[in-house]
Structure 1
Amino acid sequence: MKLNHLLDENSIAGKFIGELRDTGVQTDRMRFRRNIERVGEILGYELSKTLNFSAEKIKTPLGHSELQIPQDEVVICSILRAGLPLHNGLLNYFDDAENSFISAYRHHPNQDEHFEIVVEYLASPSLEGKTLILADPMMATGGSFVNVMKALEKMGKPKKVHLVSVIAAREGIEKVAKEFPEDSTLWVGTIDEELDERGYIVPGLGDAGDLCYGGKLQH
């Protein structure tokens, strides 16, 4: 699996990710969602450079212009609910993409630190021969991406798979590298080295879903 780390180079993305982490800023839910969306736009722009292009002639008011236009059939699949702002950022750039949504959450069967990733809801077009972009802002253990990809198998085999996250833990990167095809590509804003005993990213930013949309009742 190829890894692309956005903050390997200095850019405005560092400001957006810094505000996502900052406890003094992240309580503004609208700004938090918008910053995830912004990082999604930047990651989507970088990802777009790897697509397949062909020349098309465009008619202008004064003549014609030949441009290289992407040809891939793109499907963006976001993991609910935290993935929605990231989905919007990607969709701002891949505005003609098809869309897929899936739920994945941590279930603690014994009410302790052990958890399993449960996938329930799925709405998706066919993925056969298409370019699939899986989006989840936080990749901790990598279990959500792995279980979601298994759930999507019945929708067809994609031509290419891209994983997109704002923050990824090193352990999660290693897991998806083992579980996904070698020609898959992982796009991350930044990388954190640790998980705590509950499997949350350190330093991370907290619960992205709650910060986007408010707290939830556990079941």
Structure 2
Amino acid sequence: MVNLSTFNSIANHIIAELRDVQVQKDSQRFRKNMEKLGGILAYEASKNLSYQPTEIQTPLGKSPSAIIDTKIVIATILRAGVPLYQGVLNYFDKADSAFVGAFRNEDGDAEHLTVSTHYTAGPSIKDKILIIADPMIATGKSLLSAYQAICKGNSPKELLILSAIASQPGIDFLEKHLSNFSLYVGAVDPQLNQHAYIVPGLGDAGDLAFGEKI
């Protein structure tokens, strides 16, 4: 796991603004901060991808270079994941995309909470790198449901999960139910409250980015 909060960088400043209740009043700034963080997480994830050596012709000569040698699919969960997804797409701009509509039963606690997926659109992930951009990993159940909906029984070549903030219980859940993945996260928070929201977290990322839902 790569946890950006374990070392000093501009990511810490961005995460602080994402959490700040005063800054959160500006939804445009919240979206841009989430997009910026998506770019930083994408850059960190890019360090561990496989590359194909190549040679590039410049106006003045030839330059040894390296390019990503595997196709990428970037997936997110509507609607909260869109700004983080856009930040990742800015870096992996030739990637295909997948989208999942999901909702969770708000009546249960963290242990008994259930998640339903009602919409999925995306290409095959077979033999590709699948990047799931999910701003908040609370219980981990929404992400697992989205992953299963996207894969449709197939497995990607690699699974990378990029998140602004994850709870430790959510990480533990994913490690229990996903056999092999790499996690890149802005910060890890210790717990969930009785409604399965991350504490201290930042609130509802979808509402903060796009307005309160009814």
TM-score (norm 1): 0.93
1:106, CA displacement in angstroms?
1.4
Query: For residues 207 and 213 of structure 1, what CA distance do their matches in structure 2 show?
Result: 10
Partner of 1:203: 200
1:156, CA displacement in angstroms?
3.0
The amino acid that maps onto 2:53 is A
Query: How large is the Cα RMSD of the aligned pairs?
Result: 1.2
> Is residue 2:18 matched to residue 1:27?
no
1:137-169 deviation per Cα after TM superposition (whole angstroms, max 9, x unaligned): 000001011111221232632101011110000
Identity percentage of aligned residues: 46
User: 1:112-191 to 2 correspondence within 5 Å?
Assistant: 113=109, 115-154=113-152, 156-182=154-180, 184-191=181-188
- SS of the residue corresponding to residue 76 of structure 1 reads strand
- SS of the residue corresponding to residue 26 of structure 1 reads helix
Partner of 2:102: 104
- SS of the residue corresponding to residue 24 of structure 2 reads coil
1:126/1:155 contact within 8 Å kept? no
1:68, CA displacement in angstroms?
1.4
Query: For residues 91 and 214 of structure 1, what CA distance do their matches in structure 2 show?
Result: 23
2:100/2:150 contact within 8 Å kept? no
Partner of 1:192: 189
The amino acid that maps onto 2:148 is K
1:42-90 deviation per Cα after TM superposition (whole angstroms, max 9, x unaligned): 0100100111111111111111111111112100001110100011000
- Would you identify which runs of 4 or more consecutive aligned residues in structure 1 move more than 6 Å? none
1:91, CA displacement in angstroms?
0.4
1:107, CA displacement in angstroms?
2.1
The amino acid that maps onto 1:185 is S
TM-score (norm 2): 0.96
Unaligned runs of 5+ in 1: none
User: 1:7-22 to 2 correspondence within 5 Å?
Assistant: 7-22=5-20
Partner of 1:215: 212
2:139/2:173 contact within 8 Å kept? yes
